[in-house]
Structure 1
Amino acid sequence: MIQIAYFRLTSTNSSASTLYLLIKIGASLVVMTALIEGLPDAVAIRCLARVPFYLHPKLELVSHSWRAAIQSAELFKARQEINSSEEFLCVSAFEPENLWELYDPTHDLWITLPILPSNISHFARFSVVSTAGKLFVLGGGSDAVDPLTGDQDGIFATDKVWSYDPATRAWNPRASMLVPRAMFACCVLDGKIVAAGGFTNRRKSICNAEIYDPETDVWVQLPDLHHAHNSACSGVVFGGKVHVLHKGLSTIQVLENFKQGWIAHEYSWLQGPMTVVRENLYVMSNWFIYKQEGESRRMIVSASDFRRRIGYAMIGLGDDIYIVGGVNGPDYWNCSVKVLSDVDVLTLGSERPAWRKVAPLTRCKGTILGCTQLRI
């Protein structure tokens, strides 16, 4: 039986501290201090923090002490301090069920995550965000029968929340939401997760809103939305405010201050998939990408190549807009349906934005169920 623990001791006479690895083999204890020979452990941690995330599994094979260091919170804190954190794209699709992949844009490769251990069959209609260096999957429903009520009316909603920790590469259950919900708006504002609207059990639309603090693992009720609507809602953080949008409605409910509550605005925003890149809002409408500038908008580039594409995700990462996965539906000339793993990227920083392809999804394909950014 081998047990590994990782800890730090601080001298009583100074602020200096030393990183130790404690290995228990049977009844024997072995203490190791040096991660890299000849270097103080604090310096060694910073050296390891510069190694790209996709190589971390290989670093863990070097020694027990390296494995403990790679999986420590201290290493990920050091990555932030020396500005070596990396931005990833997190994607889950219709196939395979409950599988997530991370896209590394620097090295143009996909990393497969462990299966999300949800017991809900055909899990979908959830929300996904990232904060505090972790991926969060919240709520959702299923087309299967509700195992608790036997409801066969379509979706049922769950209040379950899961987080994925890239340090330990494991999924963990977190505090459940106050209200079961699916097809709801979910955003991160000031490091906290805001969930609002959507549907609860038996397809009942709701106005409830709540906020989650990942540090304390606690949900707190927020003021209700002004109204519910019999359609899915989505959320976007823009200009330091949460905006909740319902499909087909021009009324947008805005949250700037947690205590103040929601304010309803009539915006003439275009309808369609939208994302934020470098504090600018972009919308795909009528097969063009527009930059929304207040009440006006400016056409950026054509997206006519995606005319047959449905069920895709549109998301910003760095200076780019990504169109991920989906399905090519039939048209007048072609009745076939093609499941896609394609990833198309629009670089906005260039003088003439143009589309390019990057590495396709390696495992996931088809309709995208969840897509967000994650900084590691």
Structure 2
Amino acid sequence: MCSLPSSPPPPSDNNFHSDHICLVFCPREPASNGSVTNWIELFNPSTNTWTHVGSIPGLRDDQVLKGFAMVSLGDTVYIIGGQVCHKERVHVSDDTADWVDVGIQVVPTVLRYDFRSSQWMSCSPLRVARYDFACTVCEGKIYAAGGKSTPACARGISSAEMYDPNTDTWTPLPNLHILRYKSVGVTWQGKVHMIGGFAEREDSDRTVPSLVERSSAEVYDTEANRWELKAGMWQLDVPPNQIVAVNEMLLSSGDCLNAWKGQIEAFDGRLWNEVDGSHKPSLSTLEAEQRRYLTMAAIGRELYFLGGYYGKGRTMCIVHVFDTSATTGEEAWRSFEPMEMEGERELCSHCCVVKLS
């Protein structure tokens, strides 16, 4: 590994020694000087406070990284792969325009941030450059599978690999059975699961979508060194937004097109069913605001939902918490005081939990 420029250290008060939620943002539109660089922030659930950590190194000021995976091991965070983009303004109608991400290059880059030393390190790169791929941590190793390998590609890939942080090496794994991108990686019952996604067999007719393939999952068998295809682990043609494991349950709140569908659902090994007390039609009372992102993280028995709402040139960040051990819906949900952030920001990857000590 090689060292990269360090970031300012986070605050060293007692509240910082706990589980924090790590997120990566970028501005919705470039600044006047064209800057759109990603940056990392930490949310402290014990104090409802946000801490700016610093920018992700290695990018030009006018470039932003999207489609990467972010995972944590203890008090370190890994930024893996992704697509380097620039922001381009396009007309969506005669009188309105919006900013879109235009892919430049898919990168195999792997960066590690150590919160103890406030130091970025450059790790061994992925064997296959990829973005919009599934990624999870299992028994101290990082697993990456599927995704896309070129900006203009309309199909996913099937390659998979595993990273050992002790040796800083990526090892190729057998290919998935199906080409997949935008699938979700999660470790459940001690095994690596890659669930859902836009999936198809390599020799399939691409004009005919297959719900059977898109609702399947692949589970890695470490002893046999192979992927096992599991049918029906996701019941929609649209890929999941996020899936997290809590107390041997797999939990989801929506898909990639609608991150919140009004309730939390749990997978019982066969079907997804609504969790008792989780029904909540709206996560926010800010009727005038528009939610632009939603991500969730599991800490202990609780699910944290972090949402961003745009309005009047700023982002209102609201955090809601669902206690999976509560007996009634009234006891299960609680909300933090909204926090106003300057400028309109975008979430660049789903969050992860960092254990700081």
Same-fold call, TM cutoff 0.5: yes
Cα distance change of structure 1 residues 110 and 153 upon mapping to structure 2, 3 Å threshold: closer
Cα distance change of structure 1 residues 322 and 303 upon mapping to structure 2, 3 Å threshold: same
Cα distance change of structure 1 residues 206 and 323 upon mapping to structure 2, 3 Å threshold: same
Share of identical aligned residues, percent?
A: 26
Match of 1:367 in 2: 346
Cα distance change of structure 1 residues 117 and 345 upon mapping to structure 2, 3 Å threshold: same
- Paired residues of 1:325 and 1:366 also in contact (CA < 8 A): no
**2:307 matched to 1:325?**
yes
**2:213 matched to 1:238?**
no
**2:228 matched to 1:266?**
no
Cα distance change of structure 1 residues 268 and 130 upon mapping to structure 2, 3 Å threshold: closer
Match of 2:281 in 1: 304
Cα distance change of structure 1 residues 106 and 202 upon mapping to structure 2, 3 Å threshold: closer
Match of 1:92 in 2: 24
Q: Structure 2 matches for 1:99-138, cutoff 5 A?
A: 99-119=39-59, 121-138=63-80
Q: CA deviation at 1:185?
A: 0.6
- Paired residues of 2:193 and 2:220 also in contact (CA < 8 A): yes
Q: Structure 2 matches for 1:1-376, cutoff 5 A?
A: 56=12, 86-95=18-27, 97-119=37-59, 121-144=63-86, 154=103, 156-204=105-153, 205-229=156-180, 231-247=181-197, 249-257=214-222, 259-271=224-236, 272-273=240-241, 274-285=243-254, 286-300=261-275, 301-306=278-283, 309-327=291-309, 339-353=315-329, 354-358=332-336, 360=338, 366-370=345-349, 371-376=351-356
Secondary structure in structure 1 of the residue aligned to 2:103: coil
Q: 1: CA distance between counterparts of 2:341 and 2:70?
A: 19
Q: 1: CA distance between counterparts of 2:338 and 2:223?
A: 40
Deviations 1:70-89 (A, max 9, x none): xxxxxxxxxxxxxx963221
Q: CA deviation at 1:178?
A: 0.7
Q: CA deviation at 1:314?
A: 2.0
- TM-score, normalised by the number of residues in structure 1: 0.68
Cα distance change of structure 1 residues 233 and 107 upon mapping to structure 2, 3 Å threshold: same
Cα distance change of structure 1 residues 201 and 54 upon mapping to structure 2, 3 Å threshold: closer
Q: 2: CA distance between counterparts of 1:305 and 1:298?
A: 19
Which one has the largest radius of gyration?
Answer: 1
Secondary structure in structure 2 of the residue aligned to 1:216: coil
- Paired residues of 2:68 and 2:79 also in contact (CA < 8 A): yes
Give the gaps of 5 or more residues in structure 1.
1-52, 60-83, 146-151, 330-335
Cα distance change of structure 1 residues 225 and 362 upon mapping to structure 2, 3 Å threshold: farther
Cα distance change of structure 1 residues 192 and 214 upon mapping to structure 2, 3 Å threshold: same
Secondary structure in structure 1 of the residue aligned to 2:222: coil
Match of 2:90 in 1: none
Deviations 1:213-268 (A, max 9, x none): 11111111111111214x42221111111111233611111113165211111025
Q: 2: CA distance between counterparts of 1:155 and 1:317?
A: 36
Q: 2: CA distance between counterparts of 1:283 and 1:337?
A: 31
Q: CA deviation at 1:359?
A: 5.3
Secondary structure in structure 1 of the residue aligned to 2:42: strand
Letter in 1 for 2:139: D
Structure number with higher relative contact order (C-alpha < 8 Å, ≥ 6 residues apart): 2
Q: CA deviation at 1:310?
A: 4.5
Letter in 1 for 2:148: F
Letter in 2 for 1:125: G
Cα distance change of structure 1 residues 198 and 155 upon mapping to structure 2, 3 Å threshold: farther
- Paired residues of 1:114 and 1:169 also in contact (CA < 8 A): no
More helix by proportion, 1 or 2? 1
Deviations 1:123-176 (A, max 9, x none): 11110001153110100113339xxxxxx9735310001111011112111111
Deviations 1:249-298 (A, max 9, x none): 11111113165211111025344332222331111143221122111343
What do you get for the CA RMSD once the two structures are aligned? Answer: 3.0
Aligned length: 286
Q: 2: CA distance between counterparts of 1:279 and 1:155?
A: 40
Cα distance change of structure 1 residues 92 and 363 upon mapping to structure 2, 3 Å threshold: farther
Q: 2: CA distance between counterparts of 1:108 and 1:299?
A: 28
Q: 2: CA distance between counterparts of 1:337 and 1:251?
A: 41
Q: 1: CA distance between counterparts of 2:324 and 2:194?
A: 25
- TM-score, normalised by the number of residues in structure 2: 0.71
Letter in 2 for 1:373: V
Secondary structure in structure 1 of the residue aligned to 2:282: helix
Match of 2:210 in 1: none
